[in-house]
C-alpha cells in the first residue's frame, strides 16, 4: 500500500492501551494491601474472570466461569449503584448464604462496577482479602478511577469497531467506483478509437483548408479525452493502492528517446526544438519500472510543450552513483514557456489542480491530474519530483529516482 491505514494505527494503539491496562491493574493490586485483585466480565448468564492477581493465597484464577447467582461480580452490578464494600463476607447479608462464599472462604471484599460505552454493565473490578483487610477510602477512589479508565477503553474499542466497519463499507464503495471507471473507460475508448480512425481516413481525402482544421480539432479532442480517461484511471489505482511496480532491466536513454519520439511531431508543428542532453555517453543498465518512468517523462514533456509557444524543450539527464551499487538518475525537463505563477507553487502537485486555468480559461484543458500522478509514481519508486525553477522565461521540473544496477540479462520481479 502507498499509505498506512489509520484503522491499522488505531488497532496498534488499542493493543498498546490494553497492555498498559494490564500493567495498571498489576500496579493497583500492589497498591491495595489485599490478597487478590481481579477484573471480570459478565453477560446475562455467567461471569468470567479475565485477569487476576493473587499474593499469598490463590483465591481466583484467570478463565474461571461461574453462574451469575454465585458471582460476586454480578452482586456488584445488581445490588450496588457504586462501590460495594463488605467487611466480612461470612456475616454480610448479601454474601453469607452464597455458595461462592464457601468457595473463596472468609474475606473482606470490595467491588466497583464497569460500564461499557452504552452505559450497560460490562463487569467489575474486585478485591478479596482472607485477612479481612479494612478497605480505605483511597482504595475505593483508586478502583473507581480504574473503572472509569476501563470504560473509556471500552468506548475506544467500540469506536474502533465502528470505524473498521465504516472503512470496509467505504472500500466497497471505492471498489464499485473503480469498476465503474474501468467500464466507462472501455465504453468511451471504443467509440473514440473509431472517431480517431475516421479522422485519419478523412485526412487522406481531398478536404478544404477549413475542413482540415475541423478534422484536426476532432483528432486532438479525441486524443485529449483518451489521455484524460487514462489519467483518471491511474489516479483511481493510486488512491486504491493498487498500482504495482514491475522491475526489469532497462536503459534510461531508451526511455528518454521513446518520449522524444512521441512528441517530435507535436514539437515540429509548433516550431519548437525538442532534444535531450546527457552528462555521460555511457548509460548504465538499470533495474526499474521503465513504463512508469516513461509515464512521468511523458507528462512532464507534454506539459512543457503545452505551455511553450517558441524556443525549446530540453531534457537533461544526470547520473549519480550511490552506495550498494545503486544509481540515482535525475531528469530535468526545461522549457522556454510562460512559466508558473509562484503564488500557486504549492498547488502544483495537488489533484485536479489547473494552475493556468484562471489566466487562460478553457485554453489548456486537462483533468489537473498529471503532476499529481507523476509525484505518486516517483514516490512509489522511492524518488521525488519537484519544480526546480520558474520565471516568465520558462520553468524546470526535476525528477530523481534511485535504481539498482541490473546484472542479469533476464530478470523480472513484481512488487507491491
103: domain CATH number is 3.30.450.40
pLDDT in tens, 116-142: 767 778 888 888 999 999 998 888 888
- The residue that leads in pLDDT, 368 or 337, is 337
pLDDT, average across residues 55-83: 83
Angle, in degrees to the nearest 10, between helices 370-380 and 290-306:
150
> What is the pLDDT, as a whole number, of residue 171?
72
> What is the pLDDT, as a whole number, of residue 361?
44
> What is the pLDDT, as a whole number, of residue 12?
61
Same domain, 399 and 332: yes
The residues with which 400 forms a beta bridge, in sequence order, are 330, 384
Strand order, beta sheet including 46-54? 65-67, 46-54, 36-42, 121-129, 108-115, 84-86
Single pTM value for the model: 0.49
Same domain, 354 and 251: yes
Band of pLDDT at residue 398, cut at 50, 70 and 90: very high
Judge whether 158 lies within some domain: yes
CB within 8 Å of 188: residues ≥ 6 apart: 225, 226, 229
Greatest mean pLDDT among 240-249, 318-327, 384-393: 384-393
Q: What percent of the chain has pLDDT over 90?
A: 23
Q: Which of 109, 128, 163 is the last residue of a domain?
A: 163
Say yes or no to pLDDT of 333 above 90. yes
Can you tell me the distance from the alpha carbon of 122 to that of 113, in angstroms, rounded to the nearest whole number? 8
Judge whether 1 lies within some domain: no
Same domain, 140 and 212: no
> What is the pLDDT, as a whole number, of residue 186?
62
From 40, 41, 3, select the one nearest 238 (Cα to Cα).
3
Helix (H, G, I), strand (E, B) or coil at 350: coil
Band of pLDDT at residue 27, cut at 50, 70 and 90: confident
> What is the pLDDT, as a whole number, of residue 365?
47
Helix (H, G, I), strand (E, B) or coil at 283: coil
Range name among 195-199, 254-258, 297-301, 364-368 with the lowest pLDDT average: 364-368
Say yes or no to pLDDT of 352 above 60. no
Say yes or no to pLDDT of 4 above 50. no
Helix (H, G, I), strand (E, B) or coil at 92: coil
> What is the pLDDT, as a whole number, of residue 413?
40
Can you tell me the distance from the alpha carbon of 62 to that of 52, in angstroms, rounded to the nearest whole number? 6
- For the chain, what is the mean pLDDT? 79
- The residue that leads in pLDDT, 333 or 340, is 333
pLDDT in tens, 35-62: 888 888 888 788 888 888 888 888 888 8
Say yes or no to pLDDT of 356 above 50. no
Greatest mean pLDDT among 3-17, 236-250, 351-365, 373-387: 373-387
Band of pLDDT at residue 183, cut at 50, 70 and 90: low
For strands 108-115 and 312-322, give the pairing.
unpaired
- The residue that leads in pLDDT, 14 or 382, is 382
pLDDT, average across residues 225-241: 66
Same domain, 275 and 385: yes
Can you tell me the distance from the alpha carbon of 232 to that of 153, in angstroms, rounded to the nearest whole number? 42
Same domain, 217 and 345: no
Q: Which of 163, 192, 216 is the last residue of a domain?
A: 163
Say yes or no to pLDDT of 415 above 70. no
As a whole number of angstroms, the longest Cα–Cα distance in the chain is 113
Same domain, 202 and 113: no
> What is the pLDDT, as a whole number, of residue 104?
87
Same domain, 44 and 183: no
Judge whether 265 lies within some domain: yes
Judge whether 69 lies within some domain: yes
329: domain CATH number is 3.30.565.10
> What is the pLDDT, as a whole number, of residue 414?
42
In this structure, what C-alpha cell is assigned to residue 82?
A: 457504586
197: domain CATH number is 1.10.287.130
Judge whether 342 lies within some domain: yes
Kindly provide the residue ranges of all beta strands, DSSP E only, lying in 87-193, ordered along the sequence: 108-115, 121-129
Same domain, 224 and 250: no
Counting the structural domains of the chain, the total is 3
Judge whether 57 lies within some domain: yes
Say yes or no to pLDDT of 72 above 70. yes
Can you tell me the distance from the alpha carbon of 113 to that of 100, in angstroms, rounded to the nearest whole number? 19
Same domain, 44 and 131: yes
- The residue that leads in pLDDT, 27 or 351, is 27
Judge whether 385 lies within some domain: yes
Say yes or no to pLDDT of 93 above 50. yes
Range name among 47-61, 99-113, 167-181, 309-323 with the lowest pLDDT average: 167-181
Say yes or no to pLDDT of 1 above 60. no
Q: Which of 140, 163, 186 is the last residue of a domain?
A: 163
pLDDT, average across residues 346-368: 54
Judge whether 358 lies within some domain: yes
Same domain, 324 and 406: yes
Same domain, 315 and 297: yes
Domain range for 410: 244-415
Same domain, 266 and 372: yes
Band of pLDDT at residue 81, cut at 50, 70 and 90: low
CB within 8 Å of 142: residues ≥ 6 apart: 28, 31, 32
CB within 8 Å of 286: residues ≥ 6 apart: 249, 250, 251, 252, 327, 329, 403, 404, 405, 406
> What is the pLDDT, as a whole number, of residue 21?
67
Amino acid at each position: 500500500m502507498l499509505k498506512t491505514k489509520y484503522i491499522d494505527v488505531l488497532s496498534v494503539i488499542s493493543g498498546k492501551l490494553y497492555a498498559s491496562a494490564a500493567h495498571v491493574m498489576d500496579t493497583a493490586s500492589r497498591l491495595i494491601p489485599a490478597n487478590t485483585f481481579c477484573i471480570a466480565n459478565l453477560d446475562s448468564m455467567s461471569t468470567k474472570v479475565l485477569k487476576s492477581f493473587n499474593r499469598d493465597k490463590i483465591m481466583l484464577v484467570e478463565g474461571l466461569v461461574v453462574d451469575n447467582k454465585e458471582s460476586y461480580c454480578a452482586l456488584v452490578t445488581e445490588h450496588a449503584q457504586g462501590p460495594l464494600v463488605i467487611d466480612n463476607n461470612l456475616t454480610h447479608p448479601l454474601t453469607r448464604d452464597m455458595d461462592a462464599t464457601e468457595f473463596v472462604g472468609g474475606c473482606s471484599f470490595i467491588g466497583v462496577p464497569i460500564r461499557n460505552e452504552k452505559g450497560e454493565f460490562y463487569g467489575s473490578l474486585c478485591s478479596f482479602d482472607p485477612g479481612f483487610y479494612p478497605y480505605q477510602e483511597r482504595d475505593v477512589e483508586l478502583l473507581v478511577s480504574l473503572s472509569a479508565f476501563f470504560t473509556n477503553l471500552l468506548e475506544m474499542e467500540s469506536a474502533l469497531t465502528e470505524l473498521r466497519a465504516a472503512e470496509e463499507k467505504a472500500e466497497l464503495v471505492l471498489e464499485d467506483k473503480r469498476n465503474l471507471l474501468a467500464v466507462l473507460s472501455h465504453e468511451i475508448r471504443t467509440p473514440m478509437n473509431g472517431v480517431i480512425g475516421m479522422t485519419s481516413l478523412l485526412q487522406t481525402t481531398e478536404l478544404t483548408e477549413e475542413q482540415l482544421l475541423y478534422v484536426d480539432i476532432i483528432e486532438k479532442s479525441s486524443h485529449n479525452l483518451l489521455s484524460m480517461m487514462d489519467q483518471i484511471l491511474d489516479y483511481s489505482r493510486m488512491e486504491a493502492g493498487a498500482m504495482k511496480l514491475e522491475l526489469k532491466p532497462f536503459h534510461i536513454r531508451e526511455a528518454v528517446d521513446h518520449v522524444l519520439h512521441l512528441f517530435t511531431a507535436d514539437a515540429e508543428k509548433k516550431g519548437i526544438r525538442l532534444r535531450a542532453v546527457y552528462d555521460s555517453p555511457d548509460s548504465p543498465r538499470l533495474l526499474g519500472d521503465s513504463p512508469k518512468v516513461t509515464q512521468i517523462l511523458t507528462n512532464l514533456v507534454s506539459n512543457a510543450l503545452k505551455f511553450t509557444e517558441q524556443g525549446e524543450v530540453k531534457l537533461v539527464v544526470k547520473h549519480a552513483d550511490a552506495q550498494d551499487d545503486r544509481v540515482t538518475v535525475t531528469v530535468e525537463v526545461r522549457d522556454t514557456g510562460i512559466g508558473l505563477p509562484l503564488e500557486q507553487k504549492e498547488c502544483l502537485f495537488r489533484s485536479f489542480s489547473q494552475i493556468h486555468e484562471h489566466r487562460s480559461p478553457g485554453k489548456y484543458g486537462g483533468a489537473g491530474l498529471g503532476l499529481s500522478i507523476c509525484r505518486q509514481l516517483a514516490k512509489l519508486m522511492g524518488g521525488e519530483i519537484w519544480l526546480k525553477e520558474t520565471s516568465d522565461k520558462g520553468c524546470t521540473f526535476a525528477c530523481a529516482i534511485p535504481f539498482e544496477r541490473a546484472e542479469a540479462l533476464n530478470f523480472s520481479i513484481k512488487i507491491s
